[in-house]
Structure 1
Amino acid sequence: MPQGVPSAPVRTCVGCRGRDEQPALLRVVAVPDRHDGSTERWLVVPDARRRGQGRGAYVHPDPACLQSAIARRAFGRALRLPAGAGADVSAVQEWLDQR
């Protein structure tokens, strides 16, 4: 393989905006929160197997990157959620805490 060519696909972290190989990043997807009965609220969940349906976003498995993404409201834009929709990232936070 030529030098300088990555061996895996390269993705951008929505938190720090750094580029890294896909296996080094955690893929997350958004699913509608069925508890409130509307599409106003979305749950951002980890997709560690990278097989979840829908558009995904990538974040480093680092609490600093997650906090940066939350502060910048990057998940809503990266996952193309409806304008004004809330994104609950507590599942991703719990996943990081367990690691």
Structure 2
Amino acid sequence: MRTCVGCRGRAEQSALMRVVAVQDEASTDRWVIVPDVRRRGQGRGAYLHPDPQCLQNATARRAFGRALRLPAKAAIDSTAVHELLEHQ
């Protein structure tokens, strides 16, 4: 069982999408949230329902920074996750 960072609901791991943070090469204080489809990405992961509303809630609550233990002043870009959810 895992907890969605957007709605805080619990679900089986297979029902949730794993995301990881990758540091942007151009800037040291910018992080990009990317989907980890194969669930093999390095580092700490967070889980999210494959629902645009959960992504919006997680972004509004700044849940990715806490769940992934990113620096407090880090700029977070979740565009890659948003694009994946639009195409599903």
Query: Normalising by the residue count of structure 2, what TM-score does the alignment of the two structures yield?
Result: 0.98
For residues 69 and 75 of structure 2, what CA distance do their matches in structure 1 show? 12
Instruction: Specify every segment of 5 or more residues in structure 1 that has no aligned partner in the other structure, as ranges.
Output: 1-9
Identical-pair percentage:
69
Q: By how many angstroms is 1:83 displaced? A: 1.1
For residues 92 and 50 of structure 1, what CA distance do their matches in structure 2 show? 14
In our comparison, the structure showing a higher alpha carbon Rg is: 1
Query: Partner of 1:35 in structure 2?
Result: 26
| Cα RMSD for the two superposed structures | 0.6
Check if 1:82 corresponds to 2:71: yes
Which residue, 58, 61, 64 being the options, matches 1:72?
61
1:54 counterpart SS class: coil
1:15 counterpart SS class: coil
For residues 74 and 52 of structure 1, what CA distance do their matches in structure 2 show? 19
Query: Partner of 1:52 in structure 2?
Result: 41
Per-residue CA deviations over 1:43-83 (Å, capped at 9, x if unaligned) read: 00000110000000000000010000000000000000011
1:66 counterpart SS class: helix
For residues 44 and 71 of structure 1, what CA distance do their matches in structure 2 show? 14
| Amino acid of the structure 2 residue aligned with 1:12 | T
| Amino acid of the structure 2 residue aligned with 1:28 | V
Instruction: Specify every segment of 5 or more residues in structure 2 that has no aligned partner in the other structure, as ranges.
Output: none
For residues 24 and 49 of structure 1, what CA distance do their matches in structure 2 show? 13
